[in-house]
Structure 1
Amino acid sequence: MKPEEINVEDNISTVKQFLLLGFYELPTLQGFLSGVFFVVYLIIVFGNSLIILITVSDAELKKPMYFFLAHFSSLEICYVSVTVPKIMVNIWTQKRSISLLDCATQMCFFFILGTSESLLLSAMSYDRYVAICNPLQYPLVMNPKKCVQLVIGSWFSGMPIQIEQTCQIFSLDFCGANEIDHFFCDLPPIIKLACGDTFMHELSVYVVVILVGAIPFILIIVSYSKIVSTILSLPTASGRSKAFSTCSSHLLVVLLFFGSASIMYFRPKSKHSAGIDKLFSLFYTIVTPMFNPLIYSLRNKKVIAALRKLFFKT
């Protein structure tokens, strides 16, 4: 049964908490969904932890590409931990309430980490660009200091923007319905609950998405256009195959992450629906992080070799 709304006085911002409806429309599947989320969460944490472990312990992976991959896996664990544990608790307890402060905190960390992933994927594409297009300069350009700077920039550059955006969103008046038809505090369903004109806030959201999402994606596309051009100019088929194999995994992850997120946040408000929003949110918050370790391990011979050494001590 759909939870009842908290009574509020008209035209007064008295909403003190929201109700995350989650998957209330599937009452007979709550136990199944709980199990699915629990298993998926374990897969994400275990898979990405393995990636971190082998990149730290295996001498063959002491290269910038795998340094970035280890940090990307760390980000993935943090990213899913912002939303999935709360989803599981809500399903287990059937207590769907979340305070405004907790909702704002969840949204803020979700977007900070999402921005960090976007920037780190851009840094990883730059690494592949230098390695393939300027191989002789690669050791000099991608030196340890530069790699650390790129990682620190990816982790922390989005914080001021996303903290400011979160403060702006939660400065709105919420004086009507308090039910969020979603499984976490995402931006589109929160804005739907705000009173009054939200046009400027929606506009600021688009600006932020362009800054932290569209621009990094464009830079990645530019990098890969040059990478592909360079690969196609290689004289041998084996050389082209080897070059493609070093960047195909990253490109696939980029398409999964940016593709689903862009559909979610670049659609106009009138095109948003609860069901579609949940579907796309599930994809970029849970499905993509679950497949990332598989994509990088199954398509990378050095990662496979490192995993064999870890488990079989060969």
Structure 2
Amino acid sequence: MPTNRRYHLAKRPDGLPDDDTFDLRETEVPEPGPGEALVRLLYLSVDPYMRDRMRAGESYAEPWDVGGPLYGGAVGEVVESNGAGFDAGDTVVAEFPWAEYATKRGADLTPVDTGALPVSTALGVLGMPGRTAYFGVRDVIEPSGDDTMVVSGAAGAVGSVAGQLGELQGADVIGVAGSDEKVDWLTDDLGFTAGINYQEEDVADRLAELADGVDAYYDNVGGPVTDAVFPQLNVDASVGICGQIALYNDESVPTGPRKLPGLVQTRARVEGFLVGDFAPRFEQATAHLGELVAGGDLQYRETVTEGLENAPDAFRGLFAGENVGKQLVEIAAPAEE
């Protein structure tokens, strides 16, 4: 049996995590206990919310212990089952350590069936990001025909799906992203009505040129982009707060112009949400998203970094906007490949 490599949190970072934050250890491959399966991990998801788990304070996600393993969603193949209810060779998804091998209770594993799509999509368009977009659009901001919908972080795993779902519901969707390449992808390939490169354009000025106010805002970013959008909310606008990636590496909460008084005039509704709140409907969302992809109505992209040893670079790249679509780390190739 080969040895196993696994990442641990070496220290709590100050700002953007550096190499000293991550400790890659070589261990023995674990043996599955009763009711567990040993899984060889294929793809690891790295996501912005993981930065919050590196803090000591309370958050919606439990913080990682210094010295303990890092965790994330991953797809893998069962190597050995000890009464876990799976067979060797089965493909499963769950939260796993950043590792090459890991054990998991069978009750905590979900079988992967992505049809003709790659198994990696269970971590992207058919997984947590896709479902986050699905419920955020359909249940939280609820755009409809003639609405102007804005999506921040629009070229990411969640934003790119959210914008397409908004278009399918009849809205005119404006995506805010960090490069001309990303804006071109949004408008030329995904069908967004327009795009704004926040690195090169003044978001407030450009948004005022493109639309007569904002009816629905899907916020993945926070910070200056959201500061630019809020004053342009229309009466009865809806805002879904999904993420605040612009602030995750800040060690203190930034202050600035107060935007809340404007909500009195617009009667806008602002709602934060977590995808886990919709867990009873995950299968419904995945099935619908799969139908849209199969029918050519929903597109996706993946940015894949090869090698577990490069997971920290892939994670940091999220905050520099290096990924287009879903950021994944390929740890091993599926057996059939």
In the superposition, the TM-score normalised over structure 1's length comes to 0.25
- Which structure has the larger Rg? 1
Q: Could you say which structure has the higher helix fraction?
A: 1
Q: Which has the higher contact order (CA 8 A, sep 6+)?
A: 1
In the superposition, the TM-score normalised over structure 2's length comes to 0.24
Q: Could you say which structure has the higher strand fraction?
A: 2
